[in-house]
A and B are shown apart, each in its own frame.
Chain A
């Protein structure tokens, strides 16, 4: 099974700033996704990171707020732009490998 790492593991940021989260998979995966988990809540899909093309966003999420890159089959980034306290969440990257979905350890973001 694929192993996924994320950087940073946690961060505390000031409102109005941006943070870029990196996701690295130890093997090539066809599909990569970004999820958000707000405090005490379940996971919600933000977008599908498409290799070599623009990400596909779910309802309620837009590219200007959450730009995503995926330059190859093992790496993706998610940027949380112009942050507000409501963006305080855990952001998780996942990869699909042989019909199984594995998750990174998450990035705990606190916005003050």
Chain B
């Protein structure tokens, strides 16, 4: 069975601080995809990134960066110089890359990020 753990339930920072959201996963599959989504107060789920299990390169997109380490089964997300607009719930998710479970996302419990001005 797959499992995604986001141990940080809530994080509160002041604007311009850097913040890292942790994600640890469990899967027996050798090929899988990891995702991060943002859910602002309006409720829609915004896709941020997808990472293939074979690609361990870290990725940077503007103020966002992701650190994928298979050795520790972690896929952490860092926001640099946080802004008030970053306040949202962030979800980490996992799916198989093939088989009957392909496409079915297993979500972590989410981390509520609040950025104060």
Contact = CB atoms under 8 A, between A and B. Distances in A.
Interface stretch (A16-24, A67-75, A76-84, A97-105): A97-105
Given A43-B105, A105-B43, A99 B110 contact: no
Interface string B60-94: 00000000000000000000000000000001000
B33 A45 contact: no
Interface string B29-69: 00001010100000111010010100000000000000000
A48 B96 CA distance: 14
Nearest to B95: A101
A45 B105 contact: yes
10 contacts: A1-B47, A42-B110, A43-B91, A48-B103, A48-B104, A92-B45, A94-B105, A99-B50, A100-B50, A105-B43
Interface of B: 33, 35, 37, 43-45, 47, 50, 52, 91, 95, 102-110
